Amino acid sequence: MDVTEVTFQSQVIERSRQLPVVVDFWAEWCPPCRQLGPVLERAVAQRAGKLELAKIDVDSNQGLARSFGIQGIPAVKAFKDGVVASEFVGAQPPQVVERFLDSLLPSEVDALVAAGDEASLRRAAELEPARADAVVPLARILRSRGDEDEALRLLAQVPGNFAADGLAARIKLERALAAGELPVDGLEQAFAALDRGDSEAALDGLLNALSSADGAKEDVRRIVVGILDELGVEDPLARDARRRLAAALY
C-alpha cells in the first residue's frame, strides 16, 4: 500500500500495534529501489496476513523522510508496536530480505506464550525452559490447583526473575500458613486480593504485614517486588509502594 504523511499514523504506527509493518522508502528515479521493490513485494505476499508492506515516495513525503533520517534509498524500516524494530539500507538479495522479514515474525514459543493455555505454556517451557513469560503463568496455573511442587520446580528454572521469585515465596508462605507455622496478620487477605487482581489492596496488606513478619520478611519482600515488577516502574501505585517498602525495611 502507498502511504503518505497524512495516512502514516493510521496505516503504519497504529497498524504496527497489530502486526509488523515494513516500510519501503523509495523514489521512482532510484534504480536500486526498483530492484528491491519486487523482491519485498513477493516476500511479503508469501507471508500474507503476518505482516504488511507500506511504500513511501520520499519525493512526495519529504517530511517523513526527514523525520526518520533517510539519507540513502532504498531504506527499509520495520515497525512493531509503533516504533522501528529493525531496518536496512540498500537493495538486498532475496535471501537477506527473507531473513529480515522472518526475524519480525513471532517464534513458535512466542505464539505458544500468546495462546496462554496450560498445554501451550507447557510446550513453550519445554522448548525454552528459561522463558519466564511461559514458566510463571504456568506455575500460577499449577499453584491454583494445588500442584505446588511442580510449580516450584518450574520456577527454579528462572532464577533472578522477580515474578518467579515472588510466586515461589508466596507458595512457601502459603504452606507455612496452612501448617499454622506463620502467625502473620493480613497475609491471607493480601493473597486473596492478589488473586482477584486488586494489586493496591494486595500491596497494602503485604506492606502492613511486614511489621509482624519476623522470620518471613524476605519472602514478603520478594512477593512485593514481584508485584511491583509486573506493574512497571512508571505505575503510580508501584512508585508509592516502593517508597513504603523501603521505609518498612530500612
CB-based burial of residue 12 (10 Å sphere; 0-12 exposed, 13-18 middle, 19+ buried)?
buried
Smallest CA-to-CA distance from 147 within 155, 32, 209 is with: 155
Q: Answer whether 0.85 is exceeded by the pTM.
A: no
239: pLDDT strictly greater than 90? no
**Domain range 8-105, CATH class:** alpha beta
The Cα 42–Cα 35 span in angstroms is 12
| Mean pLDDT computed over every residue of the chain | 91
Give me the pLDDT at residue 158, please.
94
Q: Lowest-confidence range among 91-100, 154-163, 209-218, 227-236? A: 209-218
Active site residues: 30, 33
Q: Are 221 and 170 in contact (CB under 8 A)?
A: no
> Domain residue spans in the chain?
8-105, 109-249
Q: What is the pLDDT of residue 2?
A: 87
How far is Cα 80 from Cα 22, in angstroms, rounded to an integer?
Answer: 9
Q: Say if residue 3's pLDDT is above 90.
A: no
Ramachandran angles phi, psi of 136, nearest 5°: -65, -50
pLDDT category of residue 22 using cuts at 50, 70 and 90: very high
Task: State the pLDDT at residue 116.
Answer: 93
Q: What is the 3-state secondary structure (H, E, C) of the chain?
A: CECCCCCHHHHHHHHHHCCCEEEEEECCCCHHHHHHHHHHHHHHHHCECCEEEEEEECCCCHHHHHHCCCCCCCEEEEEECCEEEEEEECCCCHHHHHHHHHHHCCCHHHHHHHHCCHHHHHHHHHHCCCCHHHHHHHHHHHHHCCCHHHHHHHHCCCCCCHHHHHHHHHHHHHHHHHCCCCCCCCHHHHHHHHHCCCHHHHHHHHHHHHHHCCCCHHHHHHHHHHHHHHHCCCCHHHHHHHHHHHHHHC
Mean pLDDT of 12-35: 93
